[in-house]
């Protein structure tokens, strides 16, 4: 299963781990299918760490269905550049926001649900990482958006 996020800087094609993180993937795909992410800005960007998006208001508020954390011994780790994880505000607060890692981030394992990885578009991730940001809020100085999303297949659509 894959989706492509079409951003102002290029495309990010994501392989989703529907078998390992079914609730997160189902929620993400439902939000994609409904156009929820169209126009969302990348509102938090920390070089060498991660870039975050998924809030249509741009205020860092989580929207969507609140999901519990799903970790297990088969959980995928934050072990490479381009891992996609649910953002949260603490245990069991996954919703609409997600982030891409810029490097290995093992301290995030078992705290944030990994539900995919970038399989095409790492050059777009490179461009996101280069964006200048406000030094206090880590908000990019130039608004960069997800224009729209292409769903390549949705195993949860019924």
| Spans of all domains in the chain | 2-152
Mean pLDDT in residue range 28-38: 94
Q: What percent of the chain clears pLDDT 70, i.e. is strictly above it? A: 88
Task: Band the pLDDT of 124: cuts 50, 70, 90.
Answer: very high
Tokens 């894959």 sit on residue: 2
**pLDDT recorded at residue 65:** 47
Residue 69 predicted with pLDDT over 90: no
Where is pLDDT greater, at 92 or 7?
7
Strands 114-120 and 146-151: unpaired
**pLDDT recorded at residue 60:** 63
Tokens 């997800």 sit on residue: 146
Residue 24 predicted with pLDDT over 50: yes
Topology classification of domain 2-152:
Cyclophilin (2.40.100)
Residue 73 predicted with pLDDT over 50: no
Q: What percent of the chain clears pLDDT 90, i.e. is strictly above it? A: 65
Contact 9, 144 (CB under 8 A): yes
> pTM for the whole thing?
0.89
Mean pLDDT in residue range 75-100: 85
**pLDDT recorded at residue 116:** 95
Cα angle, residue 138 at apex, residues 134 and 142 outer, rounded to 5°: 60
Question: Could you give the C-alpha distances from 46 to 49, 80, 93, 103, 116, in angstroms and in order?
Answer: 5, 16, 22, 11, 20
**pLDDT recorded at residue 43:** 95
């Amino acid at each position: 299963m894959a989706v492509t996020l079409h951003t102002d800087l290029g495309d990010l094609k994501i392989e989703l781990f529907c078998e390992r993180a079914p609730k997160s993937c189902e929620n993400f795909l439902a939000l994609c299918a409904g156009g929820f992410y169209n126009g969302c800005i990348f509102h938090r960007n920390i070089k060498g760490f991660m870039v975050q998006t998924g809030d249509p208001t741009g205020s860092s508020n989580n929207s969507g269905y609140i999901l519990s954390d799903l970790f297990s011994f088969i959980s995928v780790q934050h072990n490479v550049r381009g891992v996609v994880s649910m953002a949260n505000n603490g245990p069991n607060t996954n919703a609409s926001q997600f982030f891409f890692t810029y490097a290995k981030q093992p301290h995030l394992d078992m705290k944030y649900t990994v539900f995919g990885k970038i399989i095409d578009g790492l050059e777009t991730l490179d461009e996101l990482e280069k964006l200048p940001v406000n030094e206090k809020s880590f908000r990019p100085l130039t608004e960069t958006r997800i224009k729209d999303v292409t769903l390549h297949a949705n195993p949860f659509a019924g």
